[in-house]
Amino acid sequence: MPLAWVLLSLIAGYTLAATELLPFGHTPLAYALLALAAAVACAAAPGSRVWLPLLLLSLTTFGVSRWQTQDAPEPGEWADLPARDAVMELLVEQTFRSLAFPEGAMGLALVTEAAHAPLKELEGRRVYYSLALCPEGRAVRRGERVKARGIVEFRAATEPRDGFETYLDARRVSATFRRGAVVEHRGSTSWHTAFGNTANERLTRILLAGSEDKEHPYGHVFAAMLLGQKWMLGPELRSGFVRTGTMHLFAVSGLHVAAVALTLALGLQLLRVPAQAAAVIGLVLLSGYVLATGAPPSAVRAFSMVAFYWAANVFLRQREPLAALVASAVAVLLWDPRQLFAVGFQLSYAVVGSILLIGLPLAAHLRDAINLGRFIPEDLHPAWVAPTAAALRWTATAFSISLAACLGSMPLIIAYFELFTPGAVLLNLALIPAASLAVVNGVLSAAAGLTGLEGLSAFLNRGAWAVLAVMLWMVDAALRIPGFYFNMEWRVGSMPFVAVGAVLASGVLIRFRPFTATPWRFALPPAAFLFLLMLGARSVVPE
């Protein structure tokens, strides 16, 4: 797969640039063009094989150049600047909400206007803001320009940091803007952010329909799952999902976008819409859903995966989800190189890659192995054989996908959250299908609400609450099981990436190099992960 070489070269270039392990100066684009010219020249020579390493060198140095030119480096003297009062205009890129600070505005924004130096140098750079609302109490919305007053603290320190600070580093946040308030709202900057904000508010009302007089949290959990509004869960529920390794159910990512896309595809198929028109209509509607969730990076990445796969399947007549995955990763990294070091990007592609390379082949093998009544002629099978075999095949598929997803994500979860949740393999076996059913129910509820059928929407919401009630009970029961999760950490910072690479590499062997027909080949990924876990991880005491 040629795009795989492009992806690996970009990753190598970005890593070299980010870690400053550069074998050359600050003109890598010239080296990239020189290596590309040499590769073309060698390719023209008959029998020459030198062009491939030269081409890879060209792509790698291009990655270095792309990283260095994405934005200007921060001035080194910012680390010594004290905090200071400021009045600035902000373009809101992302909003956060918290039950602990319901009257406040939090999120990420670009500085579009500042009063004087050194604050003037923040223009065009990203800040994290945490401010009180304006006197009218109007909420700050994504894509809006606001004027605010507060205290600016610069973030030029280069020491490695954990938790939320790591997230701010990945988003290239230059400063924090706190202990102040929004002074003025200056309107939205684009139609798509305005549409997304309006759609989010409308869908939230639809998904909460019927829960106004209820004391249970199911309505808020339902809205949190469909729209990624994790703040609606509250600290207790959120902690439970984190400790059981199931918090991914509330991040709008591959599970949600794929379930919505599948529902749209089936609906358009029932309406007998032609395949090519259905792809265009489906992707437009799916993009509306992504905008309604606030277009978080995880949702955009999942949308790009679905878009590449859907378009290739309809217009090119090729069904290769792995190629769509690689193409979407290349597109995302070319657009924003810093996504490579974002936790969400790493988890998304590690999980989906593991499912495609390990989960689906394992599921196919297990389904083929399930052959009840193989020694009895088919016309003599008892009535229970067919449904039992179907249930076993479905269970085998769900288990394979859950196992592969855990193998791809667990090294990173240990690294970023200090949690090892072996029980999540079995818990996700039940929760992922249940969450998918809830998402499909949410799509139907949204469709009913948007067409004015509020009663039907409220009825569908109550059906989803029954599913959510079972899910919450299972999470609570899992937390009571001894050994369901452990607090662990890696001894060396590079070990989680080595572990993910080992899992994916073993998946490549299973998918493309079936070196033996024995089923024991599927033991290679978990064996590689467990070996590295015993070698490079240790238990920690939770704080």
pLDDT reported for residue 37: 60
Kindly give, in sequence order, each residue whose CB lies less than 8 Å from that of residue 292, ignoring residues fewer than 6 positions away: 196, 199, 200, 203, 227
Tell me how crowded residue 176 is: count the other CB atoms within 10 A of its CB.
18
Separation between Cα atoms, residue 127 and residue 279, nearest integer Å = 38
pLDDT reported for residue 95: 80
**Domain at 76-189: CATH architecture:** Beta Barrel (2.40)
Q: C-alpha distances in angstroms, 367 versus 362, 390, 394, 432?
A: 9, 9, 8, 19
The residues pairing with 154 across neighbouring beta strands, listed in sequence order, are 175
Give the Cα-Cα-Cα angle 235, 240, 244 (nearest 5 degrees).
150
Separation between Cα atoms, residue 401 and residue 363, nearest integer Å = 7
Number of continuous H segments (helices) and E segments (strands) in the chain: 18, 8
> Which amino acid is present at 389?
A
Nearest to 63 by CA among 16, 4, 2, 24: 16
Tell me how crowded residue 385 is: count the other CB atoms within 10 A of its CB.
14
Q: What is the DSSP string of 366-427?
A: HHHH--TTTTS-GGG--TTHHHHHHHHHHHHHHHHHHHHHHHHHHHHHHHHH-EE-TTHHHH
Measured in degrees and rounded to the nearest 5, phi and psi for residue 286 equal -65, -40
Q: How many residues appear in the chain?
A: 543
Nearest to 172 by CA among 43, 319, 48, 297: 297
> Which amino acid is present at 47?
G
pLDDT reported for residue 73: 61
Measured in degrees and rounded to the nearest 5, phi and psi for residue 363 equal -60, -40
Nearest to 478 by CA among 428, 437, 432, 526: 428
Cβ-in-10-Å burial (0-12, 13-18, 19+) of 304 comes to: buried
pLDDT reported for residue 125: 84
Kindly give, in sequence order, each residue whose CB lies less than 8 Å from that of residue 194, ignoring residues fewer than 6 positions away: 143, 188
pLDDT reported for residue 363: 85
pLDDT by residue, tens only, the chain of 543 residues: 567 777 888 788 788 777 766 655 556 555 555 555 655 555 555 655 666 676 777 777 777 777 777 755 666 666 677 888 888 888 888 887 765 666 778 888 888 888 776 677 788 888 888 888 876 667 777 788 888 888 888 876 555 555 677 777 767 788 888 888 888 887 776 777 777 778 888 888 888 877 765 555 677 888 888 887 777 777 777 778 887 877 777 777 777 788 888 888 888 888 888 877 888 888 888 888 888 887 777 777 778 778 877 776 666 655 667 777 787 788 888 888 878 887 778 888 888 888 888 888 888 888 877 766 555 656 556 666 667 777 777 788 888 888 888 888 889 888 888 888 888 888 888 888 888 888 888 888 888 888 888 888 888 888 888 888 888 888 888 888 888 888 888 888 788 898 999 998 888 888 776 655 677 888 888 899 999 988 888 887 666
The sheet that has 537-539: what strands, in order across it?
419-420, 486-490, 537-539
Name the token pair of 428. Answer: 């996700």
Q: 3-class SS at 185?
A: strand
Separation between Cα atoms, residue 448 and residue 464, nearest integer Å = 14
As annotated, the residues of the chain forming the CATH 2.40.50 domain(s) are 76-189
**Alpha carbon 527 to chain centroid distance?**
26
- 501 within 8 A of 411, measured Cβ to Cβ: no
